[in-house]
C-alpha cells in the first residue's frame, strides 16, 4: 500500500507541475507547444537521472524511485517512460523492436487521437 501512495503522490505533483509549465510556456509560440516540449525533455532527463542513480550502487532507494520516476515523471510526462523504454531497446541492441515500437507508437498514437476526436463528434 505504501508503494501505491508514493506513486499517487508523485503522480499528482508531476501532473500539477506539467500543467503549470505548459500553461506558462505554451502561449509564447502559436504553432509550437513550447510548454509540452519543455516538459517532455525535462521529464526524459529526470527519468534518466533518477533511474541511473537508482541503478548506480543504490544511491536512491526503491521507494524514492517509485515516488520520483514512476510517480512524478509518470504524472509529469509519459513521454519520459516512452523515451526510456526506447533507450533500453537500443542499449540491448534490439533495433527491430525499437523501430517497430517507435513507429507504431507514434503512428497509432496519432491515429488514436484522430479516432477519439472523430467519435466524440
Cell of 39: 516538459
User: At 57, is the pLDDT very low, low, confident or very high (cuts 50, 70, 90)?
Assistant: confident
Q: What is the pLDDT of residue 94?
A: 94
pLDDT band at 10 (very low <50, low <70, confident <90, very high): very high
Which residues contact residue 57 at a Cβ distance below 8 angstroms, ignoring those fewer than 6 apart? none
Please, which contacts does 63-70 make with residues 24 or more away whose CB atoms are closer than 8 Å? 63/2, 63/3, 63/6, 66/3, 66/6, 66/7, 66/10, 67/6, 67/7, 67/9, 67/10, 68/10, 70/7, 70/10, 70/11
Alpha carbon 118 to its chain centroid, in Å, reads 26
The overall pTM is greater than 0.75? yes
Amino acid at each position: 500500500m505504501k508503494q501505491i501512495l508514493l506513486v499517487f503522490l508523485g503522480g499528482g505533483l508531476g501532473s500539477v507541475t506539467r500543467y503549470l509549465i505548459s500553461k506558462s510556456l505554451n502561449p509564447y509560440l502559436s504553432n509550437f507547444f513550447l510548454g509540452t516540449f519543455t516538459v517532455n525533455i525535462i521529464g526524459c532527463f529526470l527519468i534518466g537521472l533518477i533511474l541511473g542513480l537508482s541503478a548506480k550502487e543504490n544511491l536512491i532507494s526503491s521507494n524514492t524511485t517509485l515516488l520520483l520516476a514512476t510517480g512524478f515523471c509518470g504524472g509529469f510526462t509519459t513521454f519520459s517512460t516512452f523515451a526510456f523504454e526506447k533507450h533500453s531497446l537500443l542499449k540491448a541492441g534490439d533495433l527491430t523492436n525499437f523501430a517497430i515500437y517507435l513507429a507504431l507508437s507514434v503512428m497509432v498514437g496519432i491515429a488514436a487521437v484522430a479516432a477519439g476526436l472523430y467519435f466524440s463528434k
